[in-house]
Amino acid sequence: MARYLQLYVPDLSMTLIDEFRTRFRTLEICIENKTSEALSFTGSYFATGGMFQIDESPRDVVPRSGSVYFLASTLYFTGVSGGWKFKVVGTDLYLYIGFCNPLLGRYKTFVNLNKDGTLPAEWPYNESMDSSMKTSECDGYIAEVTLTYPHYSNFQRMHYKIYYK
């Protein structure tokens, strides 16, 4: 039996989509939650850039669903980089994601599942090294990140996925 995920994409008008595409070093973040537990957003860090829509912020990701986020540079000639932290509700696990779309250099990603909830959201940003696929496993849960073709951005989509083995 096939299971389909409900994907939340912010309601952007064509004008906003066009503006997003003209921004410098934009980035799409997709978080796909294939577990039966919610992901509760607990922390955010931006070294550069930020959310494309100022009032938009990362939200909880309900079970068997996903969310797409639009990030953009806030100044000319800068990129978008940072990290987010989610609690896997009903477990003692935390999901950390790092992302970097710099002006100079390569895309960098990071993903980690662990039980240390004391790590700040800046930690996954500092651990982001390169654009290769990355996987993390803890207590039967697996998290991974890959770079994929973007749907709205002129740059890349970083696709983060969590599922139970």
As given in the structure block, the two tokens for residue 163 are 């599922």
Amino acid identity at 97: I
What is the dotted CATH code of the domain comprising 6-164?
Answer: 2.60.270.20
3-state SS, residue 95: strand
| Dist. CA 69–CA 152, nearest whole Å | 11
Half-sphere exposure of 40 (CA within 13 A, CB side): 10
Domain ranges of the chain: 6-164
pLDDT in tens, 28-81: 899 999 999 999 999 999 998 878 765 566 789 999 999 888 888 877 777 899
Prediction pTM value:
0.87
The residue whose two tokens read 């207590």 is 139
Higher pLDDT residue, 41 or 12? Answer: 41
Q: What is the pLDDT of residue 1?
A: 39
Dump pLDDT digits (tens) for 109-149. 999 999 999 999 999 999 999 999 999 999 999 999 999 98
Average pLDDT over every residue of 81-86? 96
